[in-house]
Amino acid sequence: MLKKLALVAAAVGAVAAVRRRSSGKAEADLWREATSGPQAVSTPTAR
């Protein structure tokens, strides 16, 4: 019983880690898309 519980906990942790990593990548992609190109919402200015 304890082995099954540990296995389930490890699987849940692995899934959570993958979700965190992929959501961060998606957020970075959205930011890049929003801040580059002719229809950019915000464009950084050089000083």
DSSP H or E segment with residue 40: none
- The reply to whether 35 falls in a domain is no
Averaged in consecutive runs of 10 residues, what is the pLDDT profile of the chain (47 residues)? 86 79 73 76 59
What does DSSP assign to residue 34? H
pTM for this entry: 0.42
- What's the pLDDT at 45? 63
Structural domain count of the chain:
1
- What's the pLDDT at 33? 79
Q: Which residues contact 34 (CB under 8 A, 6 or more apart)?
A: 40, 41, 42
Q: How far is CA 19 from the centre of its chain?
A: 7
- The reply to whether 43 falls in a domain is no
- The reply to whether 4 falls in a domain is yes
- The reply to whether 15 falls in a domain is yes
- List the domain range (segments joined by +) for residue 7: 1-29
- The reply to whether 42 falls in a domain is no
- The reply to whether 21 falls in a domain is yes
